[in-house]
Structure 1
């Protein structure tokens, strides 16, 4: 009997070792930490501690364009593969995304929908709401929020600029999403916990995307799914606005916000964009237009304050513009455009590779074959600091790199820039985001002197 107690743990240990060895052997030709190839717990640990981006960049520095950071996870630091991996007809599918849960059901959105056919249909149903022309229809909402931001700053002797910018982007997102601000600027706070909700969602994806099976077991099991949860303040606001709008007898053209555009689209695509789909779209829009847009604006302003020469060049370019400019006045300003591109290059919002699954039959990338089901992708920060594309000073913030006369070099840099993701999953709201960024940066630089 005592020997049986020894045999069971020994067998379990041997089985575990065999599994770890099998995991590592699967993609052993790709360089990287041995433990990362044996178990995804290495990746999970790095993501949980916010260190995965730095670790992968270091691995690329030591091993070259292909590195392994998980059992089936490969990062490729080669701009030439962007078109292959993210191309619309390449056959690669998105990997490891989590959706929100509401009333025991997963709420579909463009971000969380993994089925590529459904994603394409959902994207087509709302695409007209995000064209450049449609984005201009939200300019008055952005202008009103910039006015509130300037007024709020004018009341202060000292203030936290990053918080002010975040409150501005959240309120602007509320205005062009469903017609009124969330109230963050007025309260100078995270009203209803909306900002924390967005960050909790991003953190959840970051912490659990490396071990999706365990995430589903813990958070999406039948018991957890049946539990009633009160909707978040942001979801509650979206549901309230949607319900009220649905009951109104006004003509559609009296509303120009995204909610109305989504409701109009739902009439033409009722099975694709139902009520929960509209709520999911609103949540995704506010999340993207709020926190991530604020990050780029704050990064740009930080660099301007750290580099007076950059600020002086921008001030010269903005000479003569009104405090709150029309987007037509700033949309094509070369130095402002270069500043924002460079900020997004140096401070990309994604902190891990944008993953895609290798299709049936496998694929050879950068000279190495990867079997079906392998997760491959580019880490934006690694691509953005590729010296072959951006020069020996790729790690330096230098907006003037975008103002060179060499058209071929510019095309190479643009092709490698993953500011709003790439391919079928490219950010639909980028036109609104660019308008927000260019207008508010201009307004602050025109009004205040450093």
Structure 2
């Protein structure tokens, strides 16, 4: 297993993650303050309960129906059908960004998220004095373009928030929980800034990761006829006579299908949505890692992709069991 180590500038344990993820203010995903994390978790956890996730299903099913309609229309065209599947797979807060309606990535959101992730992953390793000026380093467009993408994502997230805030319906989604949440410490509603920050984090942490995984599943399965047959047989057996246009399977029975779930899990193992591991900072006095002493204040990281290829991190199952590799 590889461990990436970055020697040089000694940094605060909070500094690196702040550069990498914070667009508006720290959120549940990136705060390292235990008290703040516990506070945020109290009002966000209910949004991800089994019951509430089930309540989201009708809204998502409507979008899946649109997706299947788009794919079917392209597949029924004359000649060889070519579909950029990634263009269709992005949702946010129970309502899509409109990719399915326009059949294109009209917000350039996918490129924006990719560019943002790449530049922030790099800029976190630069000395603190250089970070604010890298957007002016036009000799290498990687920096200004990537940092502009970061700003663009913030704008997209804010616009999506304002549109959802101004809607009069009572649809249950992530934002509806944030709108109704109370600060566990004061009992007051959450500030608009905090809601926007959490909303933007879930565009990357939820929508983008889901779309990437869906795209990778289709890509991998399209190359494996034997897996296609196993999936078709399993689905035909589970839903006899129901595989018709406009029909969408419910989550609970789908969650019990061993082949389908194994395919999805193995896809995420082979192609994790984030292949780089989050950095950690060695504690005061340093730390011995893999038999090597690493001085205090040093960034260390184990790439997710490496962990996913470490046999000791997985339990080998018999073929057909839930979670078995394909």
Distance in 1 (CA, whole Å) between partners of 2:88 and 2:120 is 23
Aligned counterpart, 2:178? 262
1:365 is aligned to 2:294: no
Change (3 A) 1:305 1:358: same
Per-residue deviation, residues 396-440 of structure 1 (Å, max 9, x unmatched): xxxxx5445999xx8xx99xxxxxxxxxxxxxxxxxxxxxxxxxx
- TM alignment of 1:73-112, pairs within 5 A: 95-96=16-17, 97-101=19-23, 106-112=24-30
TM-score (norm 2): 0.76
1:99–1:269 Cα change, 3 Å: farther
- Where 1:122 maps in the other structure, the secondary structure is helix
Instruction: Answer 1 or 2: which has greater helix percent.
Output: 1
Unaligned runs of 5+ in 1: 1-64, 74-91, 222-228, 392-400, 415-450
Partner of residue 71, structure 1: 7
**Residue aligning to 2:143:** none
Instruction: Work out whether residues 287 and 295 of structure 2, in 8 Å CA contact, stay in contact via their aligned partners in 1.
Output: yes
| Matches of 1:311 and 1:406, distance apart in 2 | 17
1:251-280 deviation line (CA, Å, top 9, x unaligned): xxx331111101122455667942111112
* Cα pair distance change 1:405/1:99, threshold 3 Å: closer
Taking the aligned partners of 1:148 and 1:406, their CA distance within structure 2 comes to 32
Decide which of 149, 153, 164 is 1:241's aligned counterpart: 164
Instruction: State the alpha-carbon separation in 1 of the partners of residues 222 and 274 from structure 2.
Output: 24
* 1:95–1:114 CA contact under 8 A, matched in 2: no
Which residue, out of 276, 280, 287, partners 1:352? Answer: 276
Of residues 38, 62, 85, the one that matches 1:144 is 62
Q: Paired residue for 2:196, among 276, 279, 282?
A: 279
**Alpha-carbon distance, 1:387 to partner:** 4.6
2:235 corresponds to: 318
Contact 2:278 2:301 in 1 (8 A): yes
Partner of 1:196: 111
Q: Secondary structure at the match of 1:255?
A: coil
Residue equivalent to 1:217: 132
2:267 alignment partner in structure 1: 343
CA RMSD of aligned residues (A): 3.5
SS at match of 2:300: strand
Distance 1:272 1:385, change over 3 A: farther
Q: 1:288 to 1:341 in 2, by over 3 A?
A: same
- Residues 158, 200 of structure 2: 8 Å contact kept: yes
Q: Is the 8 A contact 1:300 1:340 kept in 2?
A: yes
Q: Distance in 2 between matches of 1:300 and 1:208?
A: 31
Question: Following the alignment from structure 1 to structure 2, what is the Cα–Cα distance between the partners of residues 318 and 307?
Answer: 17
Which residue number corresponds to residue 113 of structure 1? 31
Task: Note if contact 1:192-1:234 (Cα within 8 Å) is conserved in structure 2.
Answer: no
Which among 300, 304, 309 is matched to residue 380 of structure 1? Answer: 304
Q: Please show how residues 406-417 of structure 1 align to structure 2 within 5 Å.
A: none
| Cα distance in 1, alignment partners of residues 38 and 319 from structure 2 | 37
TM (norm. structure 1) is: 0.57
**For residues 128 and 212 of structure 1, do their structure 2 counterparts lie closer, same or farther at Cα, with a shift above 3 Å needed?**
farther
Larger Rg: 1
Cα offset, 1:349, TM superposition: 1.8
| Aligned equivalent of 1:14 | none
Shift of 1:100: 4.8
* Alignment deviations for residues 337-373 of structure 1 (CA, whole Å, 9 cap, x no partner): 1111111111112232221122334433333333432
Aligned counterparts of 1:311 and 1:232: Cα–Cα separation in 2: 40
